[in-house]
Each structure stands twice: as structure tokens, then as C-alpha cells.
Amino acid sequence: MESLPQKVMPKVLWDFSGEAYANREEFSAVLRRYQIDILGADVWQPELIVLPLVRARVLFHYWVAEADDEASAEVELQASDGHAITALDVLFQIHNAAVEKLRDDDHRFFEGIHLVAEPADGMPACYHMHLGS
């Protein structure tokens, strides 16, 4: 297996707000517009292979107001083509799984993911999502 990237998509910007998306193409178009609005350039490459894996886990933290405490959640990514995970796979799947938990959080802005554990003992690689405010 080729070596896994330590940092993935650190320059792609996204705000986990709004609702989940049923359509990948619609989500990708909204994400493209967001990049243009924030960066002034179209840098979105939805089909870029960012993880040479069929599946991976992504951990993130979010604030639970009712408990006045932080909680953790995990998203399992799946390669939509059955071979490798693309940039669109990462953000579409994370957005739909996490938006409900993150939409009202101060730290809801995607700042990439970084490797915390290689695949081992039947478990997929694990990444941690950086969130900013």
C-alpha cells in the first residue's frame, strides 16, 4: 500500500452550516462557489484522489450546549468509486454526517484532516478533522 498523506485538504475551505445534501453534484457546486467567494479563485478539485483507501475514519469534536461540554464523533468515509477517496467524498460525507452537530458550533469551519492512526488489525486509517472559528 502506498504511504498515507499526513495532512489532507488543509487549503480547502468549508463552513459546516445549513442542512445535509442529497445530491453530490449540488453539494460540489455550492462548495466550488464557497471557494470562489472566500479565496477569489476556483481551486476546488472534487475528483482529486486525496486518500488511496477504500475507507477511512474521521474523528472530530463538537460542543454540546445542553451538557456544557465537548463531545466526539466519528465519520466513516467510503470511496464512491470503490477504489480511492476523493476530495468530494471527504467533504460530502463529513458534511452530511456532521452538519447537525456543527452548524451552531463556533468551531465549524473545515481546516483539513490529519493522520492519527495507520490501518491496523482490520480497522481503517484514522484521521482527525481540524475545525476553526
What are the pLDDT digits (tens) for 20-34? 999 999 999 999 999
pLDDT score at 103? 95
What are the extents of the domains in the chain?
Answer: 7-132
Cβ pair 72, 59 in contact under 8 A: yes
pTM to 2 decimals? 0.95
pLDDT tens profile 34-46: 999 999 999 999 9
**Could you give the CA distance from residue 13 to residue 24 in angstroms, rounded to a whole number?**
17
Pseudo-torsion of CA 87, 93, 97, 101, nearest 10°? 20
* pLDDT of 91: 98
Distance in angstroms (rounded) separating the CA atoms of residues 133 and 128: 17
> What was the pLDDT predicted at 2?
66
Give residue-wise pLDDT tens across range 77-111. 999 999 999 999 999 999 999 999 999 999 999 99
Bridging pattern class, strands 109-117 and 14-15: antiparallel
Residue 84, pLDDT score: 97
Average pLDDT on 5-13 reads 97
